[in-house]
Amino acid sequence: MKKILLKSIKRYWFAIFLQIIFIGLNIYFLTYPPKIIGNIIDLLYDLETNQNAIIMQVWYLLGSCMILLGIRMPWRWLAGYIPRSIERDLKDKLFEQFMRIKMASLQNIKNGELMSYFVKDITEIRKFIYRLMSHGTRFVFTIMIATFTMMSGVNIYLTLVTLCPIILTIFLIIKIKEYVESSFRKSQKYFTDLSEYVQESTDAIRTTKAYTGEMNQLKEFIRKNRRLREANNAVDVHSTLLSTCLNICFGLCYGISLLYGSKLVLEGVITTGDFVAFNGYIGLFVGPVSWIPGVISYYKRAKISYQRLDNVFELEKEKILPKVPAKEDDFQGNIEIRDLSFNYPENLEMVLSHINIKINKGETLGIIGTIGSGKTTLMNLLLRLYPVPDEKIKIDGKDINEIPLLTLRNHICYITQDNFLFSTSLKENIKLFKDGFEDEEVKESTKNAMVYDDIEKMQNGIDTIIGERGVDLSGGQKQRVVISRAFLNKSKVVIFDDTFSALDNKTEQMVLNNVKELVKDKTCIIISNRISDIKDANQIIVLDGGNIIESGTHETLLNKQGKYYNFYKEQTAKSQMALN
């Protein structure tokens, strides 16, 4: 995170440098109007003699105002440009990081939390950079330039006595800020909590409605929302305390200046013009000092956000880039799994135990098993979505860990169980991050997946955008759109993870026939709990609780009269009942 931030700051160093120069000039020229007004007041004593000098001073006043205008415009523009540019860089890098984090780490981050990194944390950092650049720098310059002008131009003792309350107030502010920080931390936590809740509730809206859970969801939302409001109120109370402190401070400054300053005027130590200018100079401090709590507050918030983001940036990334140039011909798709056992990180329970499988190029493996028996997990390992122990999975005789991720994943087409579709066109969903396919090829793949007719009926065909204007697909349509990817993809290994479950028997048979044709010289894995999907596979394994309890061809497994046979009996009985 530090590196990313520094790199971004380095990128905009010239803009930052310019802004500092503009701020310095702005403060310097701000000391001119009080000084000129003081001069005019002193010249007013002898109006006749000083007439020309007064006119000159008025010109100076106008001139300094024009210069100030000229400085402020580019400075204000830069003040917005720099933090927004750094924010953009951070968002790009954070998204890149999310894309590359290892699944094992990513699964601990909830969706709502992910959003709050983008929406809240990066914004906090931008706001702090803005405050630091414009307010913090102005504070430093004001202290230096205005104090020097007051001391050298008016009176050193008057300056020191008048500015005493400011120093005391700064200490007080820092103390009160500790309370602001703790209340802000709470508010941020509740905000994340609420975002996560909204995210989850919207994802689950169908289930909630189906189970009439709206009121329960609403009640919980109201509770969380109220808790957030209370935390925000606490932040406001502490912030108000701070501004009150500031008002008292400046009241004291002006009071001291009036009392001690007028005494000095009466004693003839300073002129009336100096006295007026001095009060003008005090005015220069009001803004910068009142911004200090803001800068500290934003610093504390940004610090918390920085730590949160830093934790994400520290998460281990996948090494996606190939170490060696991937030669397509190297990859054949002969898979051998030898004594593979696996448990998910942070979960000691074994999900797969002593798995042994051998599939040669051109063969099909069928996997059947109870719910949660580890079927998807085994596929996750074939794609190295989770760390695979060395020498347990070999592809074409090579340890899977030695194969560059990009090569491995490019050669495996994994049709996942969740049928996830992005809110983009059907065409893009089928091509899925891969370019170089003609529309005709995409259409051909939808024909093979038996979804072509459904798509043709839609107004924009394969260009129909999913999720827009009510275009949503049925479960079976979604499955077939997802299956189309397998027909388009030129990969050497194809995996179907429970992707035929929503199809009716007739469509399923037609899709399976096309799949058979497709995988003639590929390695294919079909996970399904329907015997009809896997019965023609060269080899079938039955998974139960992470163990292979049976394996063989359809016929040998039926002869064994074990679990597979039971599945078969159950399913034939069901289809008999359906026919009657």
Ligand X SMILES: Nc1ncnc2c1ncn2[C@@H]1O[C@H](COP(=O)(O)OP(=O)(O)OP(=O)(O)O)[C@@H](O)[C@H]1O
Distance of CA 392 to the CA centre of its chain: 35
Residue 317 — φ and ψ, nearest 5°?
Answer: -105, 155
| Of the residues 107, 182, 401, 571, which one makes contact with ligand X according to CB under 6 A | 107
Nearer to ligand X, 106 or 458 (CB): 106
Which x/- pattern over 415-444 shows residues binding Mg ion (rule: CB under 5 A)? --x---------------------------
Gyration radius of the chain's alpha carbons: 36
SS3 category, 572:
helix
What is the C-alpha to C-alpha distance for residues 386 and 105, in angstroms, rounded to an integer? 10
SS3 category, 172:
helix
**∠ Cα 170 173 179 (to 5°):** 160
Q: Note whether 475 binds ligand X by CB under 6 A.
A: no
DSSP structure class, residue 458: S
Task: Considering only the stretches 131-139, 213-221, 371-379, 396-404, report the one whose residues sit in contact with ligand X under the rule CB under 6 A.
Answer: 371-379
What is the C-alpha to C-alpha distance for residues 499 and 477, in angstroms, rounded to an integer? 11
Binding-site partner at residue 347 among Mg ion, ligand X, none, CB < 5 to 8 Å by type: ligand X
CB of 328 to Mg ion, least distance (A): 30
CB of 99 to ligand X, least distance (A): 18
Q: Note whether 372 binds ligand X by CB under 6 A.
A: yes
Q: Are 530 and 571 in contact (CB under 8 A)?
A: yes
Q: Note whether 532 binds ligand X by CB under 6 A.
A: no
What is the C-alpha to C-alpha distance for residues 359 and 377, in angstroms, rounded to an integer? 18
CB count, 10 Å around CB of 534?
Answer: 25
Task: Considering only the stretches 192-200, 209-217, 277-285, 372-380, report the one whose residues sit in contact with ligand X under the rule CB under 6 A.
Answer: 372-380
Q: Note whether 374 binds ligand X by CB under 6 A.
A: yes
Residues 399-438 that bind ligand X (CB under 6 A): 417
Q: Note whether 376 binds Mg ion by CB under 5 A.
A: yes
Q: Note whether 118 binds ligand X by CB under 6 A.
A: no
Nearer to ligand X, 430 or 541 (CB): 541
Of the CA atoms within 13 Å of residue 35, those in its CB half-sphere come to 16
Nearer to ligand X, 143 or 350 (CB): 350
Q: Note whether 373 binds Mg ion by CB under 5 A.
A: no
Nearer to ligand X, 335 or 378 (CB): 378
CB of 349 to ligand X, least distance (A): 7
Whose CA is closest to 285, among 147, 156, 379? 147
Q: Among all chains, which residue has been given the structure tokens 């609420």?
A: 194
CB of 209 to ligand X, least distance (A): 24
User: Token digits for 447?
Assistant: 């024909």
CB of 107 to ligand X, least distance (A): 5
CB of 494 to Mg ion, least distance (A): 16
CB of 377 to Mg ion, least distance (A): 8
What is the C-alpha to C-alpha distance for residues 351 and 353, in angstroms, rounded to an integer? 7
Closest-by-Cβ residue to Mg ion is 376
Residues 6+ apart with CB under 8 A from 167: none
Contacting positions for Mg ion (CB under 5 A): 375-376, 417
Interaction site with ligand X (CB under 6 A):
107, 344, 347, 351, 369, 371-377, 417, 498
